[in-house]
Amino acid sequence: MPRPGVALEKLGFLTIGLFDRDDPGPGHRTTLEIIELGERLGFDSAWVRHRHLQYGISSPVAVLAAASQRTSRIELGTAVIPLGWENPLRLAEDLATVDILSGGRLNPGMSVGPPMRFDDVKEALYPDTADREDFSHERVARLLRFVAGEPAASFSGTEGFEQFSDRVQPYSPGLRGRMWYGAGSLASARWAGEHGMNLLTSSVVKAEESEDFAEVQRSQVLAFRAAHPLGDAARVSQGLVVIPTDSATAAQRAKYEAYVAARTPRTASPVGPARMMFARDLLGPSGQIAESLYAHAAFREVAEVAFALPFTFEHADYVQILTDMAGKLGPALGWQPRR
């Protein structure tokens, strides 16, 4: 577990992939360029967020299919696909296809629950079945079964000149072990462990046992591993917004400080009836951020991270942040770039 003198094993990053509503091409292309940069800098993984009816990536699987052809080593993940928008059988086909194209580098992360702003979109998304759709964990379980190669149809064989399979094709045998769940509560963390998934810890959690964010996140990690067949060996990736400023210009530092200042008040206490808590953004020189991470109760329980890039920055800012993450912050945590 990461402590001074114990190396962080895997360093990844997460991007939302923003684009201009009137000219979306450049935003998608710069997202691919950021992933390519991540591979050159030696990151272990690159993750993309999922946004529907917004100006961020709406089809991360398609974007990662493109990224798989521009890269050769870096792992490619989704954080996370909200399954309330998806048909698990069709999604299993897409995930397996991209995993094959990437050479086994896909790490699909997902979550469940009703789609965001469901009342506004249900007539378009599920015009005939909105009141009967199951948005529980069973939706994830169906996806896991299909990815694992369990039957999806009652027929296999030849009909006329065509061959039919009773399971999802293509079948990618290693994909089931790289399925991740984005949990924000103890119940979800336990469910993910019981079902042999990997855990993506969220920068938004439900305050159940504490009002200290790091302790809440740590309790979810422990609950997950207690329920997982692999126990302490089960994979967990921590997600936080981390902004190193080692090579930032004065203008960039001012922008970053304003961004963090605007977001900090929401981290003071649980928010709303669900008592959701937000992580504090970590900003400053890499040495200072490393000290903060070593003092973070949840960070001390993980061996890999996927630090989130801020939503609204410019491409040059992301280049600076990623370069400092790989060249300064990672080594300060004992990590070394992969080549």
Predicted confidence at residue 3, as pLDDT, reads 65
Query: Can you read off the two tokens belonging to residue 62?
Result: 């398609």
Q: What digits encode the pLDDT tens for the residues 28-49?
A: 999 999 999 999 999 999 999 9
Q: Give the C-alpha separation, 19 to 140, whole Å.
A: 29
6 — pLDDT class (breaks 50, 70, 90): confident
Q: Is 157 left (phi over 0), alpha (psi -120 to 50) or beta?
A: left
User: Could you identify the residue written with the tokens 């981390």?
Assistant: 242
* Phi and psi torsions of 2, nearest 5°: -65, 115
Predicted confidence at residue 231, as pLDDT, reads 98
Neighbour tally for 82: CB within 10 Å: 18
Residue 14 CA from chain centroid, whole number: 7
Q: Give the C-alpha separation, 328 to 35, whole Å.
A: 19
Predicted confidence at residue 4, as pLDDT, reads 72
Predicted confidence at residue 339, as pLDDT, reads 80
Predicted confidence at residue 2, as pLDDT, reads 60
Domain ranges of the chain: 10-152+161-222+230-332
Which letter, b or e, does each residue of 194-227 get, where b requires 16 or more Cβ atoms within 10 Å of its Cβ?
A: ebbbbbbbbbebbbbeeeebbebbbbbbbbbbeb
* Phi and psi torsions of 217, nearest 5°: -60, -40
Q: Are residues 259 and 312 in contact, defined by beta-carbon separation less than 8 angstroms?
A: yes
Fold of the domain spanning 10-152+161-222+230-332: TIM Barrel (3.20.20)
Closest CA to 327 of 239, 251, 250, 245: 245
- What would the mean pLDDT of 293-305 be, rounded to a whole number? 97
Q: Is the pLDDT of residue 1 over 60?
A: no
Q: What digits encode the pLDDT tens for the residues 143-177?
A: 999 999 999 999 999 999 999 999 999 999 999 99
